[in-house]
Amino acid sequence: MSKKDKSKFDDEDIICKYRLEYDSNKVTMVADCKECNGGGELNDGTCLRGILKGFCQEFNVDNVILSHYIETKYTDESIQMLRMMVEIINDLDQMSIRRPYDEYFKQNPALSSTLKNKQKDTCEKCDLGPGKVFILLKEQYVKDIHGFYEEYNNLLGKIEENEDEECLRCISATKSDLVYLFNKLENLRAYVIYKGFQIII
Ligand SMILES: [Zn+2]
Ligand SMILES: [Zn+2]
């Protein structure tokens, strides 16, 4: 486990401890859900979170078994859904390290250092910059998917209200990434509805 992966989930909860089993080219993640405080199903928020955490650290898992009083096995379509969710987490991570002022400085190499510092200062304070918005969204995504959608709509509303504000660079960068994210979220939602999962996202 790399440090970077660990940072995707900032708590130290014991959630869905797992082991990997290898059998005829298939990798199965077997999670012990008797101690995770979840219900041992993916439509339980705790277990969904625990398994997502595992998925951010493992590649090429083919099946998942949640072992509670009974074992619940997830294959193809559920795995596809988890991968789509991991992709969104990775996107949120990438978006959060974007610094709009860097792009601006590259396009305007003649800017004085005073102006650069001033811009950098404004950006670092900007609540609607990618560094703040996408870290917040990622935390929500891995913590509580319902809270995430609320936060997402809330931020989109704020961006639209503040379109004339001082830090246009941050606002336009954040807005374009939120729109990009919207399409991915819609794809995921459509997939979940189409496949009839009980997980509400
Ligand atoms: Zn669990
Ligand atoms: Zn800015």
Ligand nearest to the CA of 120: 2
Percentage of the chain modeled with pLDDT above 90: 60
Nearest CA among 183, 163, 166, 189 for reference residue 175: 163
Instruction: Give the pLDDT score at 193.
Output: 79
Tokens for 46, please give them: 């705790």
Ligand closest in space to the Cα of 170: 2
Say which residue, 190 or 89, is predicted with more confidence: 89
Per-residue pLDDT, averaged over 188-198, amounts to 79
Residue type for 168, please?
A: L
Ligand number with the minimum distance to the CA of 34: 1
Contacts of residues 137-141 at CB distance under 8 Å and 24 or more positions apart, as own/partner, are 137/92, 138/8, 138/89, 138/92, 138/93, 138/96, 139/10, 141/88, 141/89, 141/92
* 92 C-alpha to ligand 1 centroid (Å): 24
**pLDDT tens, residue by residue, 95-118:** 999 999 998 999 999 999 999 999
Give distance in angstroms: CA of 167 to centre of ligand 2.
5
CA of 47 to the centre of ligand 1 (A): 4
* pLDDT band at 198; cut points 50, 70, 90: low
Domain boundaries, the chain: 3-74, 92-195
22-36, 54-68, 149-163, range with the lowest pLDDT: 149-163
Given a cut of 70, is residue 126 above it in pLDDT? Answer: yes
Q: 126 CA distance to ligand 2 centroid (A)?
A: 6
Distance 121 CA to ligand 2 centre (A): 8
* Average pLDDT score, the chain: 87
For residue 170, the CA-to-ligand 2 centroid distance in Å is 4
State in Å: Cα 2 to ligand 2 middle.
30
Say if residue 184 is exposed, middle or buried (CB neighbours under 10 Å; 0-12, 13-18, 19+): middle
pLDDT score recorded for residue 106: 94
**What are φ and ψ of residue 67, in 5° steps?**
-105, 110
Residue-level pLDDT at 11: 57
pLDDT at 200 over 60: no
The torsion angles phi and psi of 198, rounded to 5 degrees, stand at -90, -5
Q: What is the pLDDT of residue 44?
A: 86
40 has a pLDDT exceeding 80: yes
**CB neighbour list of residue 112: distance below 8 Å, 6 or more residues apart:** none
What values do phi and psi take at 26, rounded to 5?
Answer: -105, 140
